[in-house]
A and B are shown apart, each in its own frame.
Chain A
Amino acid sequence: MTLAEACCIAVVAALLPGAAAALVLPFSRATWAIAATAGGVCLAATAVLTVDVSRNGPSLGFGDWVYVDALGIVVADLVAGIGLLAIVNSLPYIEHELGHGDLNHAKARHYYALVLAFLATMFAVPLLNNLGAMWIAIEATTIVSALLVSIHRDRPGLEAAWKYLIIGSVGIAFALFGTMMTFYAAEPILGDSGDALNWTTLHSVARQLNPDVMRLAFVFVLIGYGTKAGLAPMHTWLPDAHSQAPSPVSGLLSGVLLKCAMVALLRIGVLTDLSVGGGFRDNALMTFGIMSIAVALPFIIVQGDLKRLLAYSSVENIGIIALAAGIGGPIATYAAVLHIVAHSLTKSSLFFSAGSIVHAYGTRRLHRLRGLVRTTPGIAAVFVGAIIAVSGFPPFALFVSEYGLVSGAFAVDRGAVAVAGMALVALAAAALLFQVVGTAFAEQDRKRQPGRIRSLALATAALPLLLTIWIAFAPPPAVRDLLRDAAAVMEG
């Protein structure tokens, strides 16, 4: 058995029995402990695998079904790391919901079981080599996470989950067609064996794939996985689902799931670029990137709901990732990978802290959170810090990735499009800061006794934000190399 196989088995053996145990055993703190242990095993296994990939390069497993390369392992690390944080953050979150009668023990059991199942499905996406199997995993993420969005069984939750399930499933039905077209393009070269769906096999013959078919394939994949990744104009489900889900799950949806879909899109993008050439993929990605930033902007400006504000910021940031990937070249592609990582960390910090704030104040309306910094300084510091981070200011990693995007764009003569994109990003940043910082530092409008914020909630929100400072300032050479290798995969 190879190391990659052993690690994958460890992850599956932790998550699936963990989910089953959480589902059937009576609810207590032990349910949480089971989930946290499973998450811990998962993180340990990915850490081992990460070291292996950094040292020995990509590896295959289970007869080519699993392919672990730098891009895949970076996203798997995000799944495992933010997954564990979300589970830990769920302890205070779910106990608060139980205490206020928003959930009962049965639903809390379902919650932990679904979170583990959700992690298992997300884990599969970046590591599966077979594009058909990867599609199956992505559709499975939709089904499992839709159930999490509607866990409260209230009307807005139902509406959000319905839209998410329907739009998400339709979107990726289009992606399946694109996947199938890729298979079709490979058939004259590879025959109709199962191998012809393996990304590694396709990659080795990508230059021979019929460009007309690959163009059509990429259009469908872009619409399909783009829907799931939250690219405008297919993003309409996203603000609903991300705002209605329990906040730890919102962190997973915005922080990790969008990136899983993005990686699927980028993998087929690599094949398309090698086959079609001529900047077809790049132009498509840049167009959808700019469009996503532009569409999110007005909603960020007028948004009065805290969690919807964060959701629209995710649409904007997915746009930035698509833009950076489309610009291409070593610097901008590195920026795209860094943005994937940094946005995951920052957005999970934002949703975790927003969850605590919403619980403490009993509202998601921004204007009712005036004076946040005075009444709950700890969580307010994390939240405002993360807002500054997501707005692209130093000392956080999103500053570095956005700077890389612009300088990389000038290096490949695509400066104009980068400047246009960044001008929109700057407007969005100004709107975010105005909305949140203005509110947080405002005078309190009346005496308010916010609920207690538990230190575990504070710590899980603060940790990913601190990590983004670390990545910005002093990333160990091994981390930088891994990100560079991931960028090389994206470039083809």
Chain B
Amino acid sequence: MSATNLADTINALSIGMVVVGVALVWTRWPRHAVALVATQSLLLGVVGLVVAGHTHRAHLFVGAGLVLGVKALALPALIAILIARARATEEMPSAVPRALGLAAAVLLSLVTIETFSGDPFVTPLNATRALPAAVALMLLGLQTMVTRHHVVAQITGFLAIENGMALAALTATYGMPLIIEFGVLLDLLLAVIVAFVYSRRIHEMHGDLLTKVLRELRG
């Protein structure tokens, strides 16, 4: 793959991840949110494979494999189990009108990508959109978490933030040293497992997965 093709491919995949991130803000169904975040992780895994293939770095192949296994498969499967067990067919309520949320997400993405384009945020592979897309992904994940009061939105939004982080790491510095990547993924896995356990308890106590019940402690 030529250098231009490589940069174009990574740019396209990065923008694809952002589009999925915008869809995550838009969707109101827990199942769709899980599918979206799995897709986003899949794209991230492909970025990993592309960068690994280009740079011939073994640790990147391992890293991409871990991303595909943990983020694209295991974690979405865990959330899907949660949804199935809780029979969570309810909408994920939005704190702002959906159209407004969508407009904000699109605007946020465009402004972020514009702001962070150019030197010194051009990655070594010359993929000009990768780092800006990573920042946009983190902000979109945050928007999902803040605006949707539902356990599934909180977890998927968090995973989207993590995906943004991982995209930045992959493209800017060819990932982190493998042992660090491994530790980060382990932490992520544990955090989602604990969130899974808490979600089950929330469901046991209230019969749904809405986080509006978690609003008693104030002041």
- Hey, which bits of chain A sit against chain B, CB under 8 A? 130, 132-133, 135-136, 139-140, 142-143, 146-147, 150, 153, 155-156, 158-163, 165-166, 169-170, 173-174, 176-177, 180-181, 183-184, 187, 192, 194, 197, 210, 212-213, 239-240, 243-244, 299, 302-303, 308
Interface presence of B58 (CB below 8 A): no
Q: Which 7 A-B pairs have the closest CB atoms?
A: A132-B180, A136-B183, A194-B177, A139-B187, A159-B214, A184-B172, A240-B217
* A165-B191 contact given A170-B161, A177-B138, A177-B165, CB 8 Å threshold: yes
Q: Inside 8 A of A299's CB, which chain B residues have their CB? A: 219
Interface contact B120-A212, CB-CB below 8 Å:
yes
Interface contact B198-A180, CB-CB below 8 Å:
no
* A143-B184 contact given A180-B168, A299-B219, A302-B219, CB 8 Å threshold: no
Partner of A147, one of B135, B177, B194, B202: B194
Task: Kindly report which residue of chain A lies nearest to residue B180, judged by CB atoms.
Answer: A132
Interface contact A173-B162, CB-CB below 8 Å:
yes
Most buried by A among B157, B176, B195: B176
Q: Inside 8 A of A176's CB, which chain B residues have their CB? A: 165, 184
Partner of A132, one of B162, B183, B217: B183
Q: Inside 8 A of B135's CB, which chain A residues have their CB? A: 177
Interface contact B180-A197, CB-CB below 8 Å:
yes
Interface contact A163-B214, CB-CB below 8 Å:
yes
Interface contact A143-B158, CB-CB below 8 Å:
no
**Bound-state Cα–Cα, A133 to B180, Å:** 6
What are 9 of the A-B contact pairs (CB < 8 Å)?
A136-B183, A140-B187, A158-B214, A169-B158, A170-B142, A170-B157, A173-B161, A174-B138, A197-B177
B203 → chain A closest CB, angstroms: 11
**Bound-state Cα–Cα, A160 to B198, Å:** 11
**Bound-state Cα–Cα, A146 to B120, Å:** 38
**Bound-state Cα–Cα, A165 to B195, Å:** 8
Interface contact A146-B173, CB-CB below 8 Å:
no
Interface size of B by CB at 8 A reads 44
Interface contact B198-A162, CB-CB below 8 Å:
yes
Partner of A158, one of B154, B190, B205: B205
Interface contact B194-A155, CB-CB below 8 Å:
no
Interface contact B165-A158, CB-CB below 8 Å:
no
Partner of B165, one of A166, A173, A308: A173
Q: Inside 8 A of B161's CB, which chain A residues have their CB? A: 170, 173-174
The B184-219 residues at the A interface (CB cut-off 8 A) are: 184, 186-187, 190-191, 194-195, 198, 201-202, 205, 211, 213-217, 219
Interface presence of B174 (CB below 8 A): yes
Task: Kindly report which residue of chain B lies nearest to residue A182, judged by CB atoms.
Answer: B173
**Bound-state Cα–Cα, A157 to B69, Å:** 33
Partner of B180, one of A136, A173, A174, A308: A136
Q: Inside 8 A of A155's CB, which chain B residues have their CB? A: 205, 216
**Bound-state Cα–Cα, A161 to B135, Å:** 27
**Bound-state Cα–Cα, A382 to B173, Å:** 53
**Bound-state Cα–Cα, A239 to B219, Å:** 9
Interface presence of B164 (CB below 8 A): yes
Q: Inside 8 A of A139's CB, which chain B residues have their CB? A: 184, 187, 191
Partner of B158, one of A133, A173, A183: A173
Q: Inside 8 A of A308's CB, which chain B residues have their CB? A: 219
Interface contact A143-B194, CB-CB below 8 Å:
yes
Interface presence of B145 (CB below 8 A): yes
Interface contact A135-B184, CB-CB below 8 Å:
yes
Interface presence of B86 (CB below 8 A): no
Q: When each residue 122-162 of chain B gets 1 if its CB lies under 8 Å from chain A and 0 otherwise, what string results?
A: 00100000000011001001100100000000100110011
**Bound-state Cα–Cα, A376 to B105, Å:** 57
Interface contact B217-A244, CB-CB below 8 Å:
yes
B44 → chain A closest CB, angstroms: 14
* A150-B180 contact given A184-B172, A299-B219, CB 8 Å threshold: no
**Bound-state Cα–Cα, A142 to B168, Å:** 23
Q: Inside 8 A of A133's CB, which chain B residues have their CB? A: 179-180, 183
Interface contact B172-A180, CB-CB below 8 Å:
yes
Task: Kindly report which residue of chain A lies nearest to residue B135, judged by CB atoms.
Answer: A177
Interface contact A159-B219, CB-CB below 8 Å:
no
A74 → chain B closest CB, angstroms: 25
Q: Inside 8 A of B198's CB, which chain A residues have their CB? A: 150, 158, 161-162, 165
**Bound-state Cα–Cα, A302 to B194, Å:** 34
Q: Inside 8 A of A197's CB, which chain B residues have their CB? A: 176-177, 180
Interface presence of B169 (CB below 8 A): yes
B170 → chain A closest CB, angstroms: 10
Most buried by A among B183, B186, B191: B191
**Bound-state Cα–Cα, A166 to B201, Å:** 15
**Bound-state Cα–Cα, A162 to B213, Å:** 12
**Bound-state Cα–Cα, A147 to B195, Å:** 10
**Bound-state Cα–Cα, A308 to B214, Å:** 17
Interface contact A170-B158, CB-CB below 8 Å:
yes
Interface contact A158-B202, CB-CB below 8 Å:
yes
Given contacts A133-B183, A170-B157, 18 further A-B contacts (CB under 8 A): A130-B180, A132-B183, A132-B184, A147-B194, A158-B201, A158-B205, A159-B215, A162-B198, A165-B195, A166-B154, A166-B158, A170-B142, A173-B138, A174-B161, A181-B172, A184-B172, A213-B121, A243-B217
